[in-house]
A = this chain, B = another copy of it.
């Protein structure tokens, strides 16, 4: 398909690479910042613009990979009747696009995307559309870049995103706290890498509720008390230690 990518951030860049690698033609990149736009366009072997009036009008799909707030601003500029317009946001309704075209939808990548990492990750695609024909076309497009394509409406997509916040944002923050603690206490954070990998890898084979280990699940007060003392100088970690331990124990007994 012929695709115009609107946006130059992580989602625009990584989806752009995925789509190009799958054989689609990125006919143009639009970006507010002309340098960012031309850089991404160069990478995707296409042209770029930062003017709305020169956006290519002949593409099949217009992919809005911009911040939630920017979507609302852009749809005021973007009117391409007969074309498919999609956004990539978890928490924005598909209906925000209904003034831009009668064919619209959502093309949400359920993955943490970082453009500076060149290796392309597996990306489950969560899609939705205004009508069955558009949905079919988006599904075909999604299947060219992913083995996992799920149709979900606005509400279901938000729920998926909320679960993702726990598995990605919050998990990553626990890694951050552990790394800070290690740095301050003279421990090599790298030591924990095999444990981090094992913990994440195991979820695929064993339900995490079953494989829970540690002082909280065995209600080992002596160890937990000692840990809390060790966290006196780390009040943020200490609060989280208490609440997470309570939640683990609550989960076990409930």
Contact = CB atoms under 8 A, between A and B. Distances in A.
A108 to B, nearest CB: 11
A216 interface: yes
B239 A208 contact: no
A199 interface: yes
Given A166-B237, A200-B196, A243-B243, A208 B172 contact: yes
B202 A117 contact: yes
Nearest to A194: B122
Range of interface residues on A (Cβ < 8 Å): 35 or more
Interface string A169-196: 1111111111111100111110111111
Given A176-B209, A200-B196, A240-B244, A162 B181 contact: yes
A103 B231 CA distance: 32
B197 A201 contact: yes
A91 to B, nearest CB: 5
Given A171-B174, A248-B173, A194 B226 contact: no
Interface stretch (A16-24, A31-39, A152-160): A152-160
Q: Which of A121, A186, A244, A250 has the largest count of B CB atoms less than 10 A from its CB?
A: A244
A159 B230 contact: yes
Q: Which of A110, A124, A194, A202 has the largest count of B CB atoms less than 10 A from its CB?
A: A194
A163 to B, nearest CB: 4
A203 interface: yes
Given A163-B182, A166-B181, 14 more contacts: A110-B195, A112-B211, A117-B206, A122-B197, A148-B191, A150-B188, A150-B191, A159-B187, A162-B227, A162-B230, A163-B185, A171-B196, A171-B200, A177-B247
